[in-house]
Each structure stands twice: as structure tokens, then as C-alpha cells.
Structure 1
Amino acid sequence: MTITKVYDANVYVNNASTHGQASEITAPAINAVMADYKAMGMVGSMELFNGFDKMETTIKWTYPNNEVQKACANFLKPVDLMIRSSKAEYDNGGISGEKPIVMYVRGYPKTHPGGSFKAKEDTELENTFAVNYYKLEIDGDAIVEIDVMNNIYKVGGTDLLADRRQNLGL
């Protein structure tokens, strides 16, 4: 039996490390949009894949630096985020290795909070991003990739929309 644990992460904003500035990140949730289908001769109805619902991600900051604040305040320009983590693997002999987890996220800032300031407490800010690109890699293995604007949807490196893009002349 192998047990895996992920304990920590580092956020990069536009390729710059924010080590020690973020306290939590919520990765995008991928939700399929399903279309109802029913036809004569079918005993019932069914749902078929019809794209994706909008995605978003949030980052809680202990207090980000000025460059991060500027990037997150510009609602007209997407922000490139990279979240790097490490997945520790344990077996009956203890830790057997660590594998990298990397998420690539591109999205437009939706919020830019001023924060709240309290005596003797950390100031925490939370930014929300409307995500238009998301890719997850674990130990160099591409798990999923979605590029909404370019009609790209890959699972395990297989491009599931290549024929559709070709048929549309994209």
C-alpha cells in the first residue's frame, strides 16, 4: 500500500515566486455542461457532453507584494499563475519519494480586496480569478488541460477536441 500526502505549495504570479505570501489556493473545479438528448426509438433520455462551465480560482494572501497587487488589480489583463507542490509517497518503510505537482492557470482578476486590518492579527486578502486556461501535471504526466479560448481539451495528453477544431477550420 502507498499513501500520498500533499502538504505545501508555492504560487508564482507572472513567473515570479510569491513564496511565503500566499496562505491558501483553491484550484479550478472542472464542471462539464451536459445537454439533454432524447429521440424516438430511445427508451429514455440521456445527457451528452456540451462543453465546460466557467472556472475560477481563489488565492488567499497573507499580504502580497506590490507587483502581485498590481497584477491582481488589472481587470483587463490575464494573470499567469503557476502553483507548485510536492506529493510525498509513503510505504511501510517510510517516505519512498516525492513527486512534483504543477498547476498552470491563466485568468482575469475578478476581485481586488483592500483587506481588513486588526491589532495583532495577520491581514488576509483574497483574490478571485475567472479562469480561461488550466493544466494539471503530476510527476511530469499531463492529467488534464483546458484552454477555453482555443477549444483545447486534453486528458492524459490526448487532444479530445482535435477533430472538432479541424472540422471548424480552427
Structure 2
Amino acid sequence: MKVNKVFDANVYLNNASKHGLASEITCPNIAALMAEYKALGMVGSVEFFNGFDKMEASIKWTYPDNEAKKACANFLKPVDIMVRSSKAQYDTGGITAETPIVIYMKGYPKQHPGGSYKKGEDTEVESTFHVLYYKEEVDGETIVELDVMNNIYKVDGEDLLVERRQNLGI
């Protein structure tokens, strides 16, 4: 039996490391939009893929630096976000390997948080992003890639929308 554990991560904003400035990041869920189909003669209904729901990510900052605050306050320019982590693999003999997990995102900031200040407590602020592009790599393999603006959706390197783009002439 092998056990995988992921304990930590580092956030990059516009290719700059924000090591130690974030306490949590929530990556988006990729959710399919489904269209219902029912017709005479069918004993039920079925659903078929009809695109993707919007994606959202958030970063909880312990307190971001000024460059991050400025980037997250510009609602007209998307930011590049990268999350790097390490997956430790264990078996009965202990740790057997550590391999990278890398998440790439591009998205527009949705809010500029002012924060909440309390005596003797850390101030956390949370930035939220509308995500246009998402790519997940584990152990050097691309698991999934979604580029909403360019109609690209790949799973394990297979472009599942190539025929649709060809049919649309894009």
C-alpha cells in the first residue's frame, strides 16, 4: 500500500513568490454544465455536456505585500497564479518519494479586501478571482487543462474539444 500526503504549498502571483504571505488557497472546481434531453418514447431523461460553469479561486493572505495588493486590486488585468506543492509518498518503510504538484491559473480579481483588524490577532485578507485558465500537473503529468476563452479542454493531454473548434472554424 502507498499513501500520498500533501502538507504545504507556495503561491506565486505574476511569477513572484509570495512565500510566507498566504495561509490558504482554494483552487477552482471544474464543473460541467449539462443540458437535459427528453423526448417521446424515452422512459426518462438524460443529460449531455454543454460547456463549463464559471471557475473561482481564492487566496487567504496573512497579509500580502504591496505588489500582490496592487495586482489583486486591478480588476481590468488578469493575474497569473501558480501554486507549487510537494506530494510525499509513503509505504511501510517510510517516505519513498517526493514529487511536485503545480497548479497554473489566470484570472481576474473580483474584490479588493480591506481586512479586519483586532488587537493581538493576525489580520487576514482574502482575494477572490474569476478563473479563465486552469492547469493541474502532478508528478510532471498534466492531469487537466481548461482554457475557457480558447475552447480548450484537455484531460491527460487529450484535447477533448478539438473537433468542436474545427466545426466552429476557430
Q: Which residue of 1 aligns with 2:108?
A: 108
TM-score when normalising by structure 2: 0.98
Q: Which residue of 1 aligns with 2:156?
A: 156
Counterpart CA distance in 2 for 1:119 and 1:36 is 53
Task: State the secondary structure of the residue aligned to 1:72.
Answer: helix
Q: Deviations over 1:41-82 (max 9, x none)?
A: 433210001011001001000011110000000000001000
TM-score when normalising by structure 1: 0.98
Q: Which runs of 5+ in 1 are unaligned?
A: none
Q: Which runs of 5+ in 2 are unaligned?
A: none
Task: State the secondary structure of the residue aligned to 1:116.
Answer: coil
Task: State the secondary structure of the residue aligned to 1:111.
Answer: coil
Task: State the secondary structure of the residue aligned to 2:96.
Answer: strand
Question: What RMSD over aligned residues (CA atoms) do the two structures have, in Å?
Answer: 0.8
Q: Deviations over 1:2-52 (max 9, x none)?
A: 011100000000000000000000110111100001223433210001011
Letter in 2 for 1:14: N
Q: Which residue of 2 aligns with 1:92?
A: 92
* 1:2 lines up with 2:2 in the alignment: yes
Letter in 1 for 2:151: N
Counterpart CA distance in 2 for 1:169 and 1:146 is 19
Q: Which residue of 1 aligns with 2:142?
A: 142
1:124 CA drift (Å): 0.3
**Paired residues, number:** 170
Q: Which residue of 1 aligns with 2:119?
A: 119
Counterpart CA distance in 1 for 2:164 and 2:140 is 27
Counterpart CA distance in 2 for 1:155 and 1:101 is 16
